[in-house]
Amino acid sequence: MPQKKNPDVPELVRGKTGRVYGHLMGLLTLMKSQCLAYNKDNQEDKEPLFDTVDTLKGSLRAFADMIPAIESRKEHMYEAARRGFSTATDLADYLVRHGVAFRDAHEVVGKAVGYGVKTGKDLSEMTLEELQSFGSMIEADVFDVLTLEGSVAARNHIGGTAPAQVLQAVERAKVDLATR
């Protein structure tokens, strides 16, 4: 029997965050400025803690049931990720690698993004001349970092998004799961 799709699951789980945050604030208030010797009021921590655990378990169950029904649309995802100046940080990093102080790189990127908003162009859609109008130190190799692939590959450190790092994280997770 095909699994019924429920597009409301993420929204329903998101709605639970208010309850969990409320419990957190209650617990933080309970623990604030507590005396060193007197802590009978700590009995008030049980109800919000247990409710939070139950809420988390239910949310995880809902997500676990939802995951198999997810259908990704790679083309839509790629286009959505490409838009919205997601490579602005990469442009700033590029400028810093070319000897520009970060505060100046930030200003150059801000102007480029402002121009992009005004003209409807993403950074990767601008011509070299357009980009150079914001910073003369920008060269043709800038387009290597203004792609999603370049952006992902640039984060080649533990926890980063570079393909090699992702594969290493998967291997570490497999080892971790095998030792449990």
Return the structure tokens found at 1: 């029997």
Span 15-45, pLDDT tens digits: 999 999 999 999 998 888 777 766 777 788 8
CATH assignment, 80-146: 1.10.40.30
- pLDDT tens sequence for the chain (180 residues): 455 556 688 898 999 999 999 999 999 988 887 777 667 777 888 999 999 999 999 999 998 988 888 889 999 998 888 888 999 999 999 999 999 999 999 999 999 999 999 999 999 999 999 999 999 999 999 999 999 999 999 899 999 999 999 999 999 999 999 998
1, 68 Cβ separation under 8 angstroms:
no
Give the predicted TM-score (pTM) of the model.
0.63
Structure tokens at 14: 């998101």
